[in-house]
Structure 1
Amino acid sequence: MSQRFAVRAFSLSIRRKIMGIALALIVLMVLTSLLSMMMVRRTGEHFAQLSSNYMPAYGNLARANIRSLERALTLRRMVIARTVSSNDGGKFDALKKVLEEKGAAVESEIRSARALIGGLIQDRSTFGDESALVRIDSRLDSLLRESRRHLNEEIDRLLKALEANDARAISENLVRVDEFRDDVNRSLDAVRSDMLALLQADSAVTVDMQRHVMVVAAALTLFAAALGVVFAMLVSNGVTVPVRRLLEGTRAVEAGQLDEVIAVTTFDEIGHLTAAFNRMVEQLRLKKRILDTFGRYIDPRVVKGLIDAPTLAAEGQRRVMTVLFCDVAGFTTTSERMTPQGLVKILNQYFSTMSAPVREHEGIIDKYIGDAIMAYWGPPFNEDSEQTRLAALAAIDMLNRLERLRDSFPEIIGMRNAPISFDLRIGVATGEALVGSIGSEHMMNYTVIGDTANLAARLEGANKIYGSRILASEATAMGAADVVETREIDLVAMAGQARPERIYEIMARKGCLTSEQEELRARFLEGLEAYRERSWDAARRAFLRALAIAPEDGPSLTFIRRIDALIAAPPENDWDGSWRLEQK
């Protein structure tokens, strides 16, 4: 009977064979869809539990931890408010109200988490570890009844000591509050960690179910494909399968999947085409590997540009660019006392921390020179109208991360009390520069050179003279005026420059100056105007008023010393108020 069926199958017309293949595949697809729908429905129920119970419960615990820390911070502020200004009862009462609100928020979040966990425990259809949920609920209950109660009692004692202004009692109670708070936070952290582990475990179960759905669907699909191949071999004589493999491989490459090789099963034109396709994929893999590898040494955008348009990179262009130089101040002496391993760790941390703002603001890191960083902005990587803003914001963010960077050094080198002198000097300049690949025939560097790059380097060094941290050229300051606050520092002719240029200090983001900084800027400007008019006494008084606001203001100190020198040796009659810096 099977022989008769085979004869009849081979005697069918191509049309009927194709229709038979189509019907068989349709039946298999319907079965696959039905089975997938059933399994997807179960997976969806699991996802619903994760999103409506597990994740919100973990979020409640995380917020409870945050509110607990905020409560501790508020308590510290109350201690400071009472010890610094014991008469300011209004501020103390306001902080006390905030303290109570934070405490209530902690308990509210924990109760919300317990309500969600309790719902999971009561729902017998839950797929999670019910015993683990019960343990977590029990620990939260203990946390509310015991640990929190002890902490609240100690806080009440501390508040009474604060109201009585008993310094000794305040100190003793504060220590006990810290101990109880640490215990509560540790308990809460442990519960949150257990909840996260449970969430991850249950998520893994859901993912496994989803993977099972995919495996079953893939198995049925492969079976359908195998059946189609068997019949298609009768129709296409082995052409359809290799062509389909090529089509699937092309789609995989289009989706970015370059790790698969198509087997060559024939020696005809289809086989040659398959081998050529594999060679093409190998070249694409090599190109991706080059991008991934050299992206750690050269900015990936530069690497891509050099690969996609090597002629343009080799020719170079003159463009308006913004260049930033960042260097470490006061680190040489400290580095001489450090081991090579410690020095490498600190420099790596420094480069990682200070490179992040450049990349976050779309800058290109050109190179690391010793402990200096050179970066630039401009076409084709940034719009002309954005480059100065991005560079100025990057400089401010670099300075804002300095304190946190300093704090990390003792832990990095394993010496808690090691004195490390570490500060930043940043120079930013905007102007025409040559952009392209520069070097020998054997080694090239895609970089920015010219007066603009030199000016940025000189501005970085000029910070040492003016006691500042971020100096920018006039073009940079004007271009970034809508995003940063600046003050004019001087009219300077740098080393190698014939014409003086105004330089500015970048002080803060737009609208973020404190009232003291605004007053400092106004007094400094008065002094600068009087200085250029040769009114030495008036200039000195203005700079002294600036120093009264900021005693360590470097530019004001610099000008006072300079006024003393000018009084001793007055400038020529044609003096234009500029100053020449010979130091590079």
Structure 2
Amino acid sequence: MPIFNQSIRRKIVGIALGLIVLMLVTSILSMVMSSQVGILLDELTNRYIPAYGHLARANIRSLERSVALRRMVMMKMQAPSEEEAYAARLREFEEADRKIDDEAEAARTLINAIIDDSRTPSDNAGLARIETRIETALTELRQAMNEDHAKLLKQVDDKQMTEVRGTLEHLDTLRDQFNQRIDTIRADMLKQVFASTRTVIGRQHQAIVISAIVTVLAAIVGFAFALLVSSGITRPVRLLLAGTREVEAGRFDKTITVSTQDEIGELAAAFNRMTEQLRHNERIRETFGRYIDPKVVQGLIDRPEVAIDGERRVMTIMFCDMSGFTSMSEGMTPRGLVRVMNHYFTVMSGPIRGNRGIIDKYIGDAIMSYWGPPFIEEDEQALLAGIAATEMVDQVPALQKQLPDLLGIRAMPAPCDLRIGIATGEVLTGSIGSELMMSFTVMGDAVNLASRLEAVNKVYGTRILISQATADAIGARLELREIDHLAVAGQSAPQPIFEVMARAGALTGAQDSLRAHYAEALAAYRARRFDEARAAFNAALEAVPGDGPSRTMLGRIAQFEAKPPEEGWDGAWRLEQK
């Protein structure tokens, strides 16, 4: 509809103007009908009722004339005759006679005015008959009385009292006849007054009813018009609100139908463009989420200053590597190698992301990931990293069975296993790189230590090694075993390193015996009681045959027996190579 293509301002002004027009129409109609009622009331008040009054006074004037006539006769009949009094009564008689004519003429004039007024409904035929009857009655009265008056005056002058009485009686009869005719005319005139009154009352009632109906219709039309226009405004607003809530909930597929060309229509079109851009950005985010962890992307969106300025935070770093990858990859086709690596990264990335870790990068067959603020709380990071490591190790047996099927061979050319190193410490987080390409990553001693611990697994034959800071943060929430005091390449001060054996309470009896014997052996080893240490390490191997750390430590004892450590030896082992 064209009305919906207008601006909101024009719609509101249109509603206001429409309501004003309806109000004006109602007011004008009420004024017209009130004026018509006023005209009828004016006619009733100034014509009908006065005309009736003139007829009533004509009766009175007739009586006054009769009284004046008798007084005049009385004055003439007295002895001696009072001529002055007679003349006064004669004047009264003539005045009363003239007033009868005046009252009758005034009544006729008003009746003719009613008949001539085309603005008001009236019984013109009935009024015309009344006017004619008044004229007839007056004419007939005048003709009859003029003769009797002249006769009466002559009889009075001649002192013919008997004849005077007869003439007076005849005059009274004529007067009564005239009064009766006037009374009949007045009765008919009263009917006309009542009819006019009913007309006025009816018109007034009609005006009230019509005004009420028009007012109600105007209100209904105005309300419908306002409702129609306002719905054209509020409906898109409600759609915008619903769309905004969808966007707030992260659903960007909501599209609003643009049904108007006003400001709200423009806003709806802008909203659709915004959601399209958000969908586009979400597709970009999903695409880059395969290259950059989505949590990092969201973190950079929420706090872009972190990427620019960098921050120092305590974080837990993990390095994961596949052992035997080099020999395994030598006999693979490029396509087979890509298939294997993609499957391997998919399987190993699941526990990391499942435990709220951030995958920083894939390096060859290695995975670098980290835990820490602002992505998780600081007191949870070490435990989550340890849990992720145990879950990754749990995936190794299934992975070893799946790889031959992926390559289409019966058995792998070389066994594969997993090595994980975890360290906790202060690192620098921020965007590192060139002007052309940058990467949000972490840097620091904890990163280097985690990388070294991953490699140290080869020395001890372990799968998961963690730093002392990580072990302190985990506490008793995982089953740990201290392996050695170690100074990795690049570090001068040795520190304890620990193996993550299992979740809390998940150790078998053999593993628990292994940990106890190994702790006893490690204490004897650091105290240079190598015979006692050898016996305890062997006891550990009896509990869990093939335990890598026990074998490594027995090899060191053999070296120390051939070449004892120097005086002041602190029981630590130092690695010169990475």
The two structures have a TM-score, normalised by structure 2, of: 0.59
2:332 alignment partner AA: M
RMSD of aligned alpha carbons: 2.7
Structure 1, residues 477-512: CA drift from partner, whole Å, max 9, x if none? Answer: 122122211111111111111111110111111111
Q: How does 1:162-181 map to 2 (within 5 A)?
A: none
Residue identity in the other structure for 2:369: A
**Residue 387 of structure 2 is aligned to residue 393 of structure 1:** yes
Distance 2:218 2:376 in 1: 60
Q: For 2:528, which of 534, 543, 557 is the aligned residue?
A: 534
CA-CA distance at 1:255 after TM superposition: 4.8
Q: How does 1:228-239 map to 2 (within 5 A)?
A: 235-236=229-230, 239=233
CA separation of 1:375 and 1:15: change in aligned 2, threshold 3 A: farther
Q: Give the deviation of 1:252 after TM superposition.
A: 4.3
Secondary structure at the aligned position of 2:476 is classed as coil
Report the counterpart of residue 16 of structure 1 in structure 2.
Answer: 220
* Cα pair distance change 1:501/1:273, threshold 3 Å: same
Corresponding residue of 2:61: none
Task: Give the C-alpha shift of residue 542 in structure 1.
Answer: 1.6
Matched with 1:403 is: 397
| Partner SS, residue 398 of structure 1 | helix
Task: Tell me the amino acid that sits aligned with residue 432 of structure 2.
Answer: I
CA separation in 1, counterparts of 2:441 and 2:492?
A: 25
Q: Deviations over 1:90-109 (max 9, x none)?
A: xxxxxxxxxxxxxxxxxxxx
- Hey, what does 1:4 align to over in structure 2? none
Deviations 1:122-150 (A, max 9, x none): xxxxxxxxxxxxxxxxxxxxxxxxxxxxx
CA distance 1:269–1:572, shift in 2 (3 Å): same
* Corresponding residue of 1:177: none
Do 2:325 and 2:365's aligned partners in 1 also have CA atoms closer than 8 Å? no
Cα 1:341–1:11 shift into 2, 3 Å:
farther
Change in CA separation of 1:558 and 1:409 when aligned onto 2, cut-off 3 Å = same
Report the AA paired with residue 474 of structure 1.
Answer: Q
Query: Partner of 1:480: helix, strand, or coil?
Result: helix
Identify the range of structure 1 (243-252 vs 451-460) with the bigger mean alpha-carbon deviation: 243-252
Q: 1:548 to 1:357 in 2, by over 3 A?
A: same
Distance in 2 (CA, whole Å) between partners of 1:397 and 1:267 is 58
1:333-482 matched pairs, under 5 angstroms:
333-482=327-476
Partner of 1:573: 567
Aligned residue for 1:559? 553
Of structures 1 and 2, the larger Rg is shown by 2
1:194-213 equivalences under 5 Å are none
Q: Which residue of 1 aligns with 2:517?
A: 523
Of residues 488, 495, 498, the one that matches 2:489 is 495
Contact 2:328 2:412 in 1 (8 A): no
Q: Is the 8 A contact 2:486 2:494 kept in 1?
A: yes
Counterpart contact for 1:393–1:483, Cα < 8 Å: no
Shift of 1:307: 1.6
TM-score relative to the length of structure 1? 0.59
Change (3 A) 1:472 1:308: same
Q: Distance in 2 between matches of 1:561 and 1:580?
A: 15
> In the aligned structure 1, how far is the partner of 2:238 from the partner of 2:416?
63
SS at match of 1:376: strand
Residues 398 and 294 of structure 1, relative CA distance in 2, 3 Å threshold = same
Distance 1:238-1:404 versus aligned 2 partners, 3 A rule:
closer
Q: Is the 8 A contact 2:317 2:368 kept in 1?
A: yes
> For the structure 1 residues 254 and 526, does the alpha-carbon distance in structure 2 shift closer, same or farther, using more than 3 Å as the test?
closer
Q: Distance in 2 between matches of 1:418 and 1:430?
A: 35
Structure 1 residue 299: deviation in Å?
1.6
After superposition, the C-alpha distances for 1:23-72 in whole angstroms (9 at most, x for unaligned) are xxxxxxxxxxxxxxxxxxxxxxxxxxxxxxxxxxxxxxxxxxxxxxxxxx
Give the Å deviation of 1:365.
Answer: 1.1
Secondary structure of the residue aligned to 2:320 is: strand
Counterpart position of 2:190: none
Query: What is the correspondence of 1:182-331 to structure 2 with a 5 Å cutoff?
Result: 235-236=229-230, 239=233, 242-243=236-237, 245-262=239-256, 264=258, 267-331=261-325
Kindly, what percent of the aligned residue pairs are identical?
A: 57
Q: Aligned-pair distance for 1:372?
A: 0.5
Cα distance in 2 for residues equivalent to 1:515 and 1:246 = 64
Q: Secondary structure at the match of 2:425?
A: strand
State the partner residue of 1:213.
none
Maintained 8 Å contact 1:324/1:376: yes
Contact 2:371 2:385 in 1 (8 A): yes
Aligned partner letter, 1:16: I
The alpha-carbon deviation at position 10 of structure 1 amounts to 12
Query: Does structure 2 retain, via aligned residues, the 8 Å contact 1:363–1:377?
Result: yes
Out of 539, 552, 573, which is 1:545 matched to? 539
1:505 matched residue in structure 2: 499
- 1:424 partner amino acid: L
CA deviations 1:535-562 (Å, max 9, x no partner) are 2222222212222222311111111111
| Count of matched residue positions in the alignment of Structure 1 and Structure 2 | 367
Encode CA deviations 1:419-478: one digit per residue, 9 max, x unaligned: 441011111111111122222222121111100010000000001011111111111112
Label 1:581 to 1:12 Cα distance change in 2 as closer, same or farther (>3 A).
Answer: farther
Cα shift at 1:249: 4.0
- Are 1:17 and 1:235, in contact at CA under 8 Å, matched by a contact in 2? no
Q: Distance in 1 between matches of 2:509 and 2:231?
A: 85
Counterparts in 2 of 1:461 and 1:14: CA distance versus 1, 3 Å? farther
Any gaps of 5 or more consecutive residues in structure 1? 1-8, 23-232
CA distance in 1, matches of 2:349, 2:481: 26
- Contact kept, 8 Å, 2:487 with 2:575, in 1: the verdict is yes
SS in structure 2 at match of 1:472 = strand
| Cα gap change, 1:396 to 1:279, in 2 (>3 Å) | same
Query: Residue deviations 1:387-440, cap 9 Å, x none?
Result: 111111111111111101111112222223444410111111111111222222
Instruction: Tell me the amino acid that sits aligned with residue 292 of structure 2.
Output: I
Aligned equivalents of 2:363 and 2:385: distance in 1?
19
Q: Closer, same or farther in 2 for the Cα pair 1:276/1:573, shift >3 Å?
A: same
Contact 1:477 1:486 in 2 (8 A): yes
What is the identity, as a one-letter code, of the residue corresponding to 1:554?
G
* Greater CA drift, 312-321 or 369-378: 312-321
Structure 1 residues 236 and 478, CA gap change in structure 2 (3 angstroms): closer
Q: CA shift at 1:286, angstroms?
A: 2.9
- Judged with a 3 Å threshold, the aligned counterparts in structure 2 of structure 1 residues 289 and 15 are, in CA distance, closer, same or farther, namely farther
Shift of 1:569: 2.1
